[in-house]
Amino acid sequence: MASQEDLFKKVISHAKEYGYVFQSSEIYDGLSAVYDYAQNGAELKKNIREYWWKAMVQLNENIVGIDAAIFMHPTTWKASGHVDAFNDPLIDNKDSKKRYRADVLVEDYTAKIETKIEREVKKAAKRFGDAFNKEEFLATNQRVKDYQEKIDTILKRLGQSLENEDLADVKKLIEELEIACPMSGSKNWTDVKQFNLMFGTKLGASADSAMDLYLRPETAQGIFVNFLNVQKTGRLKIPFGIAQTGKAFRNEIVARQFIFRMREFEQMEMQFFIKPGTQSDWYEYWKEHRMKWHLSLGMGADNYRFHDHEKLAHYADAAADIEFRFPFGFKELEGIHSRTDFDLSKHQEFSGKKLQYFDTDESKNYVPCVVETSIGLDRMFLAVFSNSLQEEELENGTTRTVLKLPAVLAPTKAAVFPLVKKDGLPELAHEIIDDLKWDFNVIYDQKDAVGRRYRRQDANGTPFCITVDHQSLEDQTVTIRHRDTMQQQRVAISELKGIIHKEVDMKSWLMRMNQV
């Protein structure tokens, strides 16, 4: 069986080979943790963004979308607490000179114990066959219980030490667990220090008058500072939400997991403004609702789990992650945070402007509380892409590489092939494309034998291949092949649009949110 590392390497090389993701400025040897989306990647990313936007904005009467600027007045970041508190604890290895996030070193350690649990589960499932009950096994098997207890104890201590800013204890924990530098194996560590993640820049022409700015580390603040403008111009009543997607920037210390942790990335965030005191209900609502969105894509309920935070960000009174099973284990994909009235109150204080909502039902003013949902678009891309990449053993003994992207998200919905490059078949194939292109992204391919073209489109994630042959000229029928089943059907050209639409229509996919 391929190791996690091998699988991840395959994901990265496939993303490059099939025009999804390239290293930024590759001809200059790249820039660490910065990536470009290529022709297919840009389409997949756009489709994920649209799937999110429709679910959040179009399908919720009380949520509107905005697009705020990346540059914001620098006081924004003082008020939000990012200047003082948006830090990561970092540690250097004195021998290898490599720098790590101290909390990530500890979490990687616990992830290894988790892998051991998964191994025990697999072994037991094999042993007990159909009679295997995973929940019962996890709750009763002593070895698994010991592993889990060890994980819980370590993470609890890490959470508490970070919460109390006790960085000396974080170092002690690393030493007690005998965590070694992954590069060199050395356990010779420096003390743990805090490191601010914001990128600074300057606005203005001359050095004297230039203003120090930050590139936004989260899109959320663009929503907070516009809260009252949007509420008033949209005549919105609490509870209501403001959503946006856009770039965010963080000077990440650990940036070695491809597009999982980038220095420039995109977020899809929604701030839901509510009456103080109702946070816990809305927090639960959004946790559940967001999980439904994920499950609607059919990538397997087993691949998701909630992780409640021990250590809370400076603005939150409750927080949970939706974690996904990436090729390197379960990791955060999305955060749901109950941010209290922290941000609006702070902006009110720092700007001297009232940011209050007048509640007509209660005839009073108050600063609303906020429940936020925040997902990284690039991370979602990685979740979808890595989960979809599969090697399949075929009946004839060969293997095929297939990218089983949810059809709704696939960059190209269909590829149209003439069986041969003559006899009027290319012309008919182009005619079909000219008709389908108004509804879907479709491409033409005439290179190589049809079998190889199928393989190429499988690896590219294209849900349908349409082959035009000599019979097509006579009876206006073609062969349509389904990526996942590899089944082929002879259908009338006039039916193609309906067949493709049924599989890729965003509405039908989104409606699954109500069925999971």
Residue 374 touches ligand GAP, criterion: CB under 6 A: yes
Q: What is the DSSP string of 395-419?
A: TTS-EEEEE---TTT-S-SEEEEES
Q: Which of 20, 42, 72, 127 is nearest to 460 (CA)?
A: 20
- The interface with ligand GAP within residues 378-397 (CB under 6 A) comprises 378-379
- The interface with ligand GAP within residues 202-261 (CB under 6 A) comprises 218, 220, 250, 252, 261
Q: Which is nearer to ligand GAP, 15 or 504 (CB)?
A: 15
Q: Which is nearer to ligand GAP, 57 or 428 (CB)?
A: 57
- The interface with ligand GAP within residues 93-122 (CB under 6 A) comprises none
Asked if residues 236 and 64 have their Cβ atoms less than 8 Å apart, the reply is yes
State the nearest-atom distance from the C-beta of 264 to ligand GAP, in Å: 8
Q: Is the Cα dihedral 289, 294, 297, 299 positive or negative? A: negative
State the nearest-atom distance from the C-beta of 231 to ligand GAP, in Å: 19
The one among 43, 88, 103, 269 contacting ligand GAP by CB under 6 A? 269
State the nearest-atom distance from the C-beta of 419 to ligand GAP, in Å: 44
State the nearest-atom distance from the C-beta of 220 to ligand GAP, in Å: 4
Stretch binding ligand GAP (CB under 6 A), from 44-52, 139-147, 373-381, 398-406: 373-381
State the nearest-atom distance from the C-beta of 332 to ligand GAP, in Å: 5
The one among 161, 267, 386, 387 contacting ligand GAP by CB under 6 A? 267
Distance CA 151, CA 144 (A): 11
State the nearest-atom distance from the C-beta of 252 to ligand GAP, in Å: 5
Report the b/e string of 272-305 with b at 16+ CB within 10 A.
bbbbeeebeebbebbbebbbebbbbbebeeebbe
396: CB partners within 8 A, 6+ apart: none
The one among 335, 368, 418, 426 contacting ligand GAP by CB under 6 A? 335
Cα angle 370, 56, 283; round to 5:
35
Q: What CA dihedral angle connects 439, 441, 442 and 445, to 10 degrees?
A: 170
Beta bridge partners of 247: 266
Residue 88 touches ligand GAP, criterion: CB under 6 A: no
Q: Which is nearer to ligand GAP, 38 or 177 (CB)?
A: 38
> What is the contact surface with ligand GAP in residues (CB under 6 A)?
218, 220, 250, 252, 261-262, 265, 267, 269, 332-335, 372, 374-376, 378-379
